[in-house]
Structure formats: C-alpha cells, structure tokens
C-alpha cells in the first residue's frame, strides 16, 4: 500500500474521532464546525508532508496535532478579540461622547471610507462615476441611459458587468 492509500485509509478510519476532538477543543472559542473541519484537514496535510507511517501510533500523532492546531486557533482568536477591545477602549477614551455607539459609528465610517477607496481603485473613472450616479443620486436606468446615449438594456448589461467585476474582486468582503 503506497503512502497516499495508507493516509486515505487512516482518514477514513479516524476522521470522525478527530472531528469530535476538534469540536471539543474549540467549544469555548468563537470557532465553528467549519473551523474544526479545516483543522482536521490541516492535520492530515501535515501528516502527508511528514509521512507519519513510521510512527508506532499515528492516531496519537494526529490527535496531538489536532489539539495543538485547535489551541493555536483559539489563542489567535483570543488575541484578536483582545486587540479589538483595546482599540474600542482607546476610541472610547478619545471620543468626546464616550459611548460604544459613537465608537461603532466611527468604525462604520472608517470601513465605508476604506471600501469606497478599494472600489474606486478597482473601477475605471467612467465606471466609478456611473456607479455613483446610479447608487448615491438615485438616477434611474432610463435616465442614465438617455444621458449616455444608449439603450436601457445596454446600460443594464454594463451595470451587470460592473457588479460582476466588483463581486469577483471583493467576494470575501
């Protein structure tokens, strides 16, 4: 049996056990079932890289690896939450209103500004102007098409392509 067949058999036999372990280890963090699946898959990838066939008990190695990966993920999430809380406290201290609502409004404004800059960098000036006119000034498709000397159908196609371009570029946002 070659290395990958052996690993596939190991995966088939112990996947559920490792998933239970990962879910148990992540129970107090903000991680989801998807995070547990990612961790188990990452453990098997590490096992493939390391070729753990030489170990007497590969399940123990996998369980230890899954536990360590879970601990790393939980620690990273904890640090991220702490960092966010410190940032909120700093903004609250510097805010004249000193309320969490004011800080949230600041965060929303900053995120909106960052998103606007990203979109503006992605689009051509004509596309950006068209998008602004359509969204912010509530101009109808028919009005915009008449201004541009094109049919409403052609403008809808152009808007569709624009949305597709943005979706492709910023799908994760």
Looking at the structure, do residues 82 and 125 belong to the same domain, yes or no? no
User: Which has more pLDDT, 108 or 70?
Assistant: 70
Whether 72 has a pLDDT exceeding 50, the answer reads yes
Most confident of 67-76, 113-122, 159-168: 67-76
| Count of structural domains, the chain | 2
Mean pLDDT of 52-69: 88
Q: Which of 61, 86, 111 is the last residue of a domain?
A: 86
Q: What is the model's pLDDT at position 173?
A: 42
Q: Which of 53, 86, 119 is the last residue of a domain?
A: 86
Residue 53 CA to residue 6 CA, distance in Å, equals 8
Q: What is the DSSP string of 115-161?
A: HHHHHHHHS-HHHHHHHHHHHTS---HHHHHHHHTS-HHHHHHHHHH
Neighbouring C-beta atoms of residue 119, cutoff 10 Å: 18
CATH code for the domain in which residue 143 is found: 1.10.10
In which domain, by residue range, is 116 found?
99-169
Task: Please list the helix, strand and coil fractions of the chain in percent, rounded to the nearest 5, in that order.
Answer: 80, 0, 20
Looking at the structure, do residues 66 and 133 belong to the same domain, yes or no? no
> Using 50, 70 and 90 to split pLDDT, how confident is the model at 95?
low
Tokens coding 145: 């098409």
Looking at the structure, do residues 33 and 72 belong to the same domain, yes or no? yes
pLDDT, tens digit (0-9, with 9 covering 90-100), for 75-85: 888 888 788 77
Looking at the structure, do residues 65 and 110 belong to the same domain, yes or no? no
Residue 121 lies in a domain: yes
The predicted model scores a pTM of 0.50
Q: Which of 58, 86, 114 is the last residue of a domain?
A: 86
pLDDT, tens digit (0-9, with 9 covering 90-100), for 126-156: 888 887 787 776 778 888 888 889 898 988 8
Q: Please state, rounded to an integer, the average pLDDT across all residues of the chain.
A: 79
């Amino acid at each position: 049996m070659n290395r990958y067949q052996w690993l596939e058999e190991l995966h088939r036999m112990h996947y559920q056990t490792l998933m239970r372990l990962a879910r148990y280890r992540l129970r107090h963090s903000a991680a989801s079932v998807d995070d547990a699946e990612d961790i188990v898959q990452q453990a098997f990838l590490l096992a493939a890289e390391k070729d753990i066939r030489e170990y007497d008990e590969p399940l123990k190695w996998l369980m230890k690896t899954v536990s360590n990966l879970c601990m790393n993920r939980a620690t990273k999430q904890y640090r991220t939450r702490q960092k966010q809380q410190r940032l909120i406290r700093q903004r609250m201290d510097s805010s004249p209103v000193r309320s969490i609502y004011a800080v949230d409004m600041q965060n929303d404004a900053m995120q909106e500004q960052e998103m606007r800059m990203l979109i503006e960098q992605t689009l051509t000036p004509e596309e950006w102007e068209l998008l602004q006119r359509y969204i912010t000034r509530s101009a109808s498709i028919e009005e915009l098409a008449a201004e541009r000397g094109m049919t409403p159908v052609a403008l809808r196609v152009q808007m569709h392509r624009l949305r597709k371009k943005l979706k492709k570029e910023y799908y994760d946002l």
